Amino acid sequence: MSGSMTSGPEGQTIPRWRALPRSLALLLCCALLAACGPNEVAVKGQFPTPLMNKLPLNIGVWYDEGFRTHEFFDEAKGRAESGWIVKTGEAQTQMWDTVLPGMFTSVVHMKGKPEPGQMNQAVDAVLIPHVDELQYAIPTHTNVKVYEIWMRYRFELVGPGGKPLAEWTMTAYGKTPTAFLQSDEAAVNLAAVVALRDAGANFATNFTRVPQVQDWLAQRQAPPAGVAGTQPAPAAEGSL
Amino acid sequence: MLAKTLRASLLILALPLTGCVTATVDEMVFNEPVHGIGDASVVILGRRHASDYETEPDFIECVGDHIAARDKAITVVGELDFINALYPWFEPRTAPLYPEDLEKLMQQAPVAQRLAELRTHYMIWIDGSTVRTDSAGSMTCGIGPGGAGCFGFGTWGNDSNYEATIWDFTNRAEVGRINATASGQSYMPAVVVPIPIIAPVQGTACDSVGDQLLKFLSSEH
């Protein structure tokens, strides 16, 4: 048998044709071990800028650590199922960084979480988004040929010093049908991108309908009590 | 002799084998078009607000390609391009369900301006899906030192049901509605090599919807 030699333990040489089955077996073991791990999806997608009249507000945004690195882990419930890790943090910040500048005159990232004593940029208010819950469904769970992602957000709108102005929740949903030659991971990614788009659409179209936000906007436009002749703040030129 | 048989077998495999499809098209016209859309454009969008199915993006693309291929004068705006250009107003949550909703949408200056730029004359909403109805049979495949092969027989049926609603964007009114259904049975016999005999159900539904839509949009049909 011709062929090159490879070095074995204790300096002895092993013919390559004998080493090959060992390498293949090792590769197979690695592949089998990898198959035992959870399915992992780091959500990636493109998000468009909203087409709307901008609200004349200088809004700050603060993404906390949990939001920036948000991931969802679902442990396998049986031998027949596999666990899932869905990492949405990067896509979340990408989406909100695209949607918010399309909604407000100015958007700035805060240096720190707004609270008393924290030095920050001067803004009208700071938006702090949180992902409170994420659920997913794949065809093996439901017998319906769609992949689904559902999220519940919680938003805090606070003053630059951390004074609470409004707090509300919002849901987002995305689904995608099964497709030929589409992996579970690709389908879950697509469903997550649809859910993120839905979150942006829901937020953009309903922000000014949140009662506490409406009150805050009304207060900004009203003249301060007891000050005669004060000019009101310019009315919002944008309407949603 | 063996070579001839082999050649004949290869020829059979190379032939596009298709199953039979039955298609029905119903049409309701509220406002008969008098001429084509000229230099305006048309957009075809899929409805995606149902919980248990969604209109396949590739079906929407198929109908658009069908129209664009048969009348080069018609500009069909891509579905994703249109939805992205008008985000967030045509997402499943926010998309207008009735022609009257367009009026409210047009009150937003940036939206009205973008739609004017796109010169959209007709907006066509397609709602429906293709589903597998039944399947039967079994097939076994094996691999060994001497080669690989399959043996068995499988069959399955597909049903397509799509409804296209045509909105005249200029008049903000529904001008017609087309319903296309198609069904077919596919077969896959396998003696060493599986021979798929696929019924092009979704493709037939796409052609049916596309042909009817051309009557609205094209001056040549």
Instruction: Give the residue on A whose Cα is nearest the Cα of B90.
Output: A201
Of A49, A53, A197, the CB nearest to B91: A197
d(CA A203, CA A92): 13
**B positions 127-146 inside 8 Å of A (CB):** 129
Can you list the pairs that A71-77 forms with residues at least 24 positions away whose Cβ atoms lie under 8 Å? A72/A134, A72/A136, A73/A38, A74/A38, A74/A136, A75/A38, A76/A38
ipTM (interface pTM):
0.81
How confident is the model at residue B72, as a pLDDT? Answer: 86
- Asked if A144 contacts B132 with a C-beta cutoff of 8 angstroms, the reply is no
User: Is the pLDDT at A54 greater than 90, yes or no?
Assistant: yes
d(CA A154, CA A91): 17
d(CA B162, CA B24): 11
Residue with tokens 């990067």: A90
Q: Å from A88 to nearest chain B CA? A: 20
Residue with tokens 């030192």: B145
Contact B94 A205 (CB under 8 A): yes
Percent of chain A scoring above 90 in pLDDT: 51
Contact A50 B86 (CB under 8 A): no
How confident is the model at residue B15, as a pLDDT? Answer: 54
How confident is the model at residue A16, as a pLDDT? Answer: 57
pLDDT in tens, A143-180: 777 888 999 999 999 998 899 999 999 999 998 876 66
How confident is the model at residue A7, as a pLDDT? Answer: 41
pLDDT in tens, B59-86: 999 999 999 999 888 899 999 999 999 9
How confident is the model at residue B90, as a pLDDT? Answer: 95
Q: Å from B218 to nearest chain A CA? A: 31
Contact B114 A51 (CB under 8 A): yes
d(CA A43, CA A64): 19
How confident is the model at residue B51, as a pLDDT? Answer: 76
Residues of chain B with pLDDT under 50: 1-2, 6, 14
B117 lies within 8 A of chain A by CB:
no
Taking Cα atoms as reference points, which of A42, A206, A72 lies closest to residue A151? A72
**A positions 172-191 inside 8 Å of B (CB):** 175-177
Instruction: Give the residue on B whose Cα is nearest the Cα of A194.
Output: B91
Contact A177 B52 (CB under 8 A): no
Contact A201 B94 (CB under 8 A): yes
User: Is the pLDDT at A9 greater than 50, yes or no?
Assistant: no
Intra-chain end-to-end CA distance of chain B, in Å: 52
Q: Å from B15 to nearest chain A CA? A: 23
Confidence label for A32 from pLDDT (cuts 50, 70 and 90): low
Angle between helices B57-70 and B201-217 (to 10 degrees): 50
* H-helix or E-strand spanning residue A193: helix A184-206
Contacts of A205 in chain B (CB under 8 A): 88, 93-94
How confident is the model at residue A35, as a pLDDT? Answer: 54
- CATH architecture for the domain at A56-221: 3-Layer(aba) Sandwich (3.40)
Q: Which of A51, A55, A175 to mutate to test the interface with B (most CBs of B within 10 A)?
A: A51
User: Is the pLDDT at A22 greater than 70, yes or no?
Assistant: no
pLDDT in tens, A185-211: 898 999 999 999 999 999 999 999 999
Taking Cα atoms as reference points, which of B85, B78, B106, B83 lies closest to residue B93? B83
Strand, coil or helix: what is B148?
A: strand
pLDDT in tens, B2-37: 455 545 555 555 455 788 889 888 887 777 666 666
User: Mean pLDDT, chain A, as a whole number?
Assistant: 81
**A positions 99-118 inside 8 Å of B (CB):** none
Confidence label for A232 from pLDDT (cuts 50, 70 and 90): very low
pLDDT in tens, A88-127: 999 999 999 999 999 999 999 998 888 887 777 889 999 9
How confident is the model at residue B34, as a pLDDT? Answer: 61
